[in-house]
Structure 1
């Protein structure tokens, strides 16, 4: 078996969704004064590579603690949706057969991580998100969000709010965002993406793809 880490490293100043808390990883104790090291970590629940629980956008939605641990191990299918900036991902762009637990959207936008361009990623239409939910897919993406992210390049015809999130999370599906390195993967693989043990609206994950050689 071969394993691939699909997670962005957590580090101070890393890119976050506009308005989310900044990420800080700072020394708290060091060898000079205390004789050991401890770092202080401050971040939001949706920083870096992370999973969204339904309570992220649904007032009565489940938190991560409602899901058994085995939920976060997926039979994953990769969907090649490498489209242009701020392009809508429609039902026609998705695979026709729902033969996996998780649909992983390969937008290629992780190459823009850490830049303003990263906010101009392709996004799921509400209809495409609803199709995923109706066919039993959880969804992951290598972009900042499954919905359009506000930026100076936003267009008037783009949907407002969190239509794709609502369609998926409202159906009890999970959403993973900010994966990276999907270009190394075959069309089918197993994804292990376990959140921190926090009963919240989301949490950072270490996302690891496992491929049978």
Structure 2
């Protein structure tokens, strides 16, 4: 058995989704002065490698504390999307056969876009169409992505945005309507085998709409 880390390090000033709370790590005590070292960590629930609960965008849907720990252990199938260009949609035709999806409860879309982490280019990741996300949900699969979102992220250069891009969060909506979770900002998906077990355990935050995770692939 091999364990592969799929998590971006949490660091002061790390990349966050546009116009959201920046990550700050402030040391408040030290061993020399106080006998113990401690920090205050400021980050929103959707910073870094994290899981989205269905209540993130759907009132009345399950939040993190309503889900079982088993809900964050996924039999995953990796979907190779490394041929996709910047801001290119991933459609139903790009998805695995139904019998392959039947063996999984999460599809991990490996675009290789994690190599752009820390740059403006990271915001131009490929994205799932609403129909593709609905197909995943209909086949009982959550979704994992190696970008900010399964939906398009606003570009640092608006001229890169395509006219056909959806204005709403179509992929989020389709998955949350089926009470499926989303794991975002994964790393190293392209190095994994076609199938693996994804462990992505959040804190059981009361009313939690999301939480950073230590995402690990077991294969």
The TM-score, its normalising length taken from structure 1, stands at: 0.97
Superposition deviation, residue 119 in structure 1: 0.4
User: Which residue of 2 is the match for residue 194 of structure 1?
Assistant: 201
- Unmatched 5+ residue regions in structure 1? none
Superposition deviation, residue 90 in structure 1: 0.2
The residue that corresponds to 1:16 in the other structure is 16
Give the aligned partner of residue 73 of structure 2.
73
Of the three residues 186, 200, 203, the one matched with 2:211 is 203
Flag structure 2 segments of 5+ consecutive residues without an equivalent: none
What SS class does the counterpart of residue 32 from structure 2 fall into?
A: coil
Equivalent residue of 1:14, what SS? coil
Structure 1, residues 142-188: CA drift from partner, whole Å, max 9, x if none?
Answer: 11100000112222210012110000011100000000011221001
Query: 1:203, 1:132 → 2: CA distance?
Result: 22
How many Å separate the matches in 1 of 2:30 and 2:72? 35
The normalised TM-score by structure 2 is: 0.94
Contact 2:137–2:174 under 8 Å retained in 1: yes
Greater helix share, structure number = 2
Cα distance in 1 between the residues matched to 2:191 and 2:165: 31
**Alignment size in residue pairs:** 211
Please name the residue that 2:181 is paired with: 174
Name which of 94, 113, 119 aligns with 2:117.
Answer: 113
Q: Could you say which residue in structure 2 is the equivalent of 1:85? A: 86
Q: Hey, what does 1:129 align to over in structure 2?
A: 133
